Structure 1
Amino acid sequence: MALALLHTSPVHVPVFDALRDAHHPGFPLRHVVREELLAGAAARGPEAVAGEVTALVAELAAGGAAAVLCTCSTIGAVAEAAGSALAVPVLRVDRPMAAAAVRLGRVTVLATLASTLAPTRALLAEEARAAGLPGGDVRTVLVEGAWERFAAGDHDGCLDLVAAAADAVTGADVIVLAQGSMAAATARTTTALPVLSSPRPGLAAAVAAATRAAR
């Protein structure tokens, strides 16, 4: 009943292991890291790596995964689309977060990588339509310098910039952290606004899907 997790950075592995240990103890996870997929999607767009993602997701499903969770927001839609032809559920980690956000009102999206903004806006619009909500009040903010710090291994510096950007948000009802790598910034913010991140609800949805599929 293993759940396969497709990551585009190794930093996600201990994050999801810790979430599993805290909320789904003993649930088997299989981690697969493909950093080149994010590099390709950032340079040429998510569709440029669609073939590679499709092949990888199919391989994970054939390898016995009860479900596949893509933890990268940039290629999440591509992974979901690849899963439509498979017998196992394929989920994107940020969908539960997006579904919660659109119900709270005006959304400000923070991202550290520009290629994440368009897929996140599209996901929020999709979830708003599904909920029968207008979904038009979404503002996006690219946190300048944060990705460079992350890529250089300065994760604390990246999180500090994200937290500062969240604290500076006005005219919103909820803040969405578009990438899973930003999640720990929630503990560093002082804003009174809800700050949503994707790893915990995304993993919970995937564990539930894998459990159902294995029955």
Structure 2
Amino acid sequence: MSPAPARPLALLHTSPVHVPVFDALRDRHHPGLGLRHLVHEELLDRARAEGPDAVADAVGRVLAGAVADGAGAVLCTCSTLGAVAEARAGALGVPVLRVDRPMAAEAMRGGRPVVVVAAVRSTVRPTLDLLREESADPATCVGTVMVTEAWERFEAGDREGYLDAVAAAVDGIATAERPVVVLAQASMADAAERVRTPLTVLSSPGTGLAAAARAVGHRPE
């Protein structure tokens, strides 16, 4: 008897730009994986204004709705809301993953300094907390680079300008200590292809989706 097909994976996004990114990753690396995209831009807007905890109940309702609709797991692609989403897993009875955890684990694995590049300030604290959770050495040096002007371009719909600004910020990081660069937001992923730096640059969508695919028991067709 063949195994039952994997239940679909729900993805919680706070921008519609993530939908084609994850669809493309699915088509390339996880063919046959069922995805259900849930886009709630208002959650990030409120979290930026009031803090992530202010939207915890609203996030919980979105996740519960996804599970009621048959999702076998939920992947939160917003770094600002990742910890809030993960905290709901116990009540929902299905895995709830944050897209940046596998990236954080990889960044902290070698004990090298880490530099976090972020365009939204509300993302910084959750990302730093996550890196500390994944670190075997609490003395690992972690710095941050803010690219607030990049987010202005993102909000204006200038994706190319946004990615160029992120790439320029990465290229401006000093290379002497050979830090690992972490792109804190999933929307930054394509900037990694535009950098000229010799440093290792990590982004979250690919490894995050792979972890979520495993969580729903997906087997490539």
Could you state the TM-score of these two structures normalised by the residue count of structure 2? 0.92
Aligned-residue CA RMSD in angstroms?
A: 1.0
In structure 1, distance between residues paired with 2:216 and 2:67: 11
Q: 2:98 aligns with which of 89, 92, 95?
A: 92
- The equivalent residue for 2:44 is 38
Residue 10 of structure 1 aligns to a residue whose secondary structure is coil
In structure 1, distance between residues paired with 2:51 and 2:171: 30
Aligned-pair identity in percent equals 61
- The equivalent residue for 2:27 is 21
Structure 2 residue 142 is matched with structure 1 residue 138: yes
Gaps of 5+ in 2: 1-6
- The equivalent residue for 2:127 is 120
Q: How does 1:41-190 map to 2 (within 5 A)?
A: 41-104=47-110, 105-128=112-135, 132-170=136-174, 171-190=177-196
Residue 103 of structure 2 aligns to a residue whose secondary structure is helix
Q: How far is 1:135 from its partner?
A: 4.8
Q: How far is 1:59 from its partner?
A: 1.3
In structure 2, distance between residues paired with 1:72 and 1:186: 18
Q: How far is 1:144 from its partner?
A: 3.1
Q: Deviations over 1:56-87 (max 9, x none)?
A: 11111121101000000000000000112221
Residue 211 of structure 1 aligns to a residue whose secondary structure is coil
Higher Cα Rg: structure 1 or 2?
2
CA contact (8 A) 1:102 1:135 kept: no
- The equivalent residue for 1:195 is 201
Residue 152 of structure 2 aligns to a residue whose secondary structure is helix
Matched length: 209
Q: 1:211 aligns with which of 191, 198, 217?
A: 217
Gaps of 5+ in 1: none
Q: How far is 1:112 from its partner?
A: 0.6
In structure 2, distance between residues paired with 1:191 and 1:135: 25
Larger displacement relative to structure 2 (98-107 or 165-174): 165-174
Structure 1 pair 183–2 and aligned structure 2 pair: CA distance change class (3 A) = same
Structure 1 pair 153–135 and aligned structure 2 pair: CA distance change class (3 A) = farther
Structure 1 pair 53–137 and aligned structure 2 pair: CA distance change class (3 A) = same
Could you state the TM-score of these two structures normalised by the residue count of structure 1? 0.95
In structure 2, distance between residues paired with 1:136 and 1:84: 30
